Every structure is written in C-alpha cells, then in structure tokens.
Amino acid sequence: MDMVLVVAVIGRSGSGKTVTIEYLIKQFSVEGYRVGAVKHIHHRGFTVDTEGKNTWRYAKAGAKVIVAISPDETAIIKKTSSEVGRFDDVLEMLKKEDSLDIVFVEGYHELVAKRVDVVKIVVAKDDKGLQELLAESEDSVVAVSGLIAENLNASVIHGFPVIRIPKDGEKLVELIKHQLNMQKGS
C-alpha cells in the first residue's frame, strides 16, 4: 500500500486557503493523481445533515454513525464530541485509503502546526500574520502563498518560496510532487 501525502494549507480566515487548495486539487486531478480533501469547519452547530430528513431522524433516534448512499456518492455522518480525536481518526482513515495519493487539509492549524508528518503551505494576508503562523509551525513548511504573495515583489520570504496562485502555481505543484517522491523513497 502506498502512503498518502497529507498537505495542510494553514492561515487565518480570508487569507487565500480555499483558492490555494482549489487550484492544487484541480492541477493534481488533471494530472491523474487521486486527491482527497478535508475542510475544518470551526463553527459550532454546523451539520451536513438536514433536519427532518431520514439521516437526521436516525441520529436523533441515537445512531452514532449514519451512512447515506446514493448512486453518485456516499456520506458518512459520525456524531462525535472530540475535535482532536476526529481529525486524527480521519487522517488515519485517509492514509489507509488505497485510492488516494494526496489529501489536502484546509484549516486545523492548531492540530497540524507541530506535526512533521504533514506538509504545510502557509497563507497569510500580511507579514505580521505570516510571522505568527511560521512561529507556531514546526518543520515541513514548503511555501508561502495567499494574499501576502500577491503584494510581494520577492520570490522568497523568511526562507520560503513565495507562490502566487495561479501565476506561479506550477512551482507549488512541483514542490508537492517533490514531497510525494521523497515520501515514496522513504
């Protein structure tokens, strides 16, 4: 079984995380890579389940895991209470998923910052925000992107390549491919 590369795009709200991940998913998918995505939604009360629908009714009746299957997709709804445990569980599940090469994670900065097993792209609005994010993160940062990249004339900041999406996006794709190759070699 091949390993799945986990790439987290970390940054504050409105800094460019979604644009960066959307670009990467599209590029890697076009090239034939099998891509997964995890989106952290930190708002309390958010649910993909719709009140009154059967899956919602099953949960209200006490089911802890509900699986909804249609001809086009499968959704697993798992009622939980620990955000940290859920993230680790989801990562482990995705790492074991034979059909994936790369998983992009949006958010979960506080959970991935110190992990060396997760490649990180830091997106920020400005240098102050960038410095805060870099100070909180350990190794495995491969690039800086987001709004800060659009406003810089530099190609490197704080020792990291600056990637403007989509203009310099191919550079970011190549950096991630390099991480994939390193992982396969280990």
How far apart CA 109 and CA 59 sit, in angstroms, is: 29
Output Rg (C-alpha) for the chain, integer angstroms: 18
How far apart CA 144 and CA 158 sit, in angstroms, is: 9
Q: Are 36 and 97 in contact (CB under 8 A)?
A: yes
* Structural domain that includes position 89: 5-43+81-185
Mean pLDDT of 42-58: 65
Residue 91: pLDDT over 80: no
Residue 50: pLDDT over 70: no
- Specify if 22 maps to a domain: yes
**Higher-confidence position of 76 and 148:** 148
- Specify if 50 maps to a domain: no
Q: How many domains does the chain have?
A: 1
Residue 135: pLDDT over 60: yes
Q: How far is CA 104 from the centre of its chain?
A: 3
- Specify if 10 maps to a domain: yes
pTM: 0.82
Question: How many Cα atoms within 13 Å fall on the side-chain side of residue 155?
Answer: 5
3-state helix, strand, coil in the chain (%, to 5): 35, 20, 40
Strand partners, 72: none
- Residue 19 binned pLDDT confidence (cut-offs 50, 70, 90): very high
How far apart CA 21 and CA 4 sit, in angstroms, is: 16
**What was the pLDDT predicted at 75?**
75
Q: Is the peptide bond before 161 cis (omega within 30 degrees of 0)?
A: no
- Specify if 68 maps to a domain: no
Single-letter residue type at 17: K
**What was the pLDDT predicted at 56?**
75
**Residue 47 is encoded by which pair of tokens?**
């649910």
The CATH number of residue 163's host domain is: 3.40.50.300
**What was the pLDDT predicted at 1?**
43
Residue 35: pLDDT over 70: yes
Mean pLDDT of 161-165: 96
Phi first, then psi, for residue 184 (nearest 5°) are -65, -30
- Specify if 70 maps to a domain: no
- Specify if 71 maps to a domain: no
- Specify if 29 maps to a domain: yes
Single-letter residue type at 42: H
Residue 141: pLDDT over 50: yes
**What was the pLDDT predicted at 94?**
74
- Specify if 119 maps to a domain: yes
Residue 16: pLDDT over 60: yes
Residue 85: pLDDT over 60: no
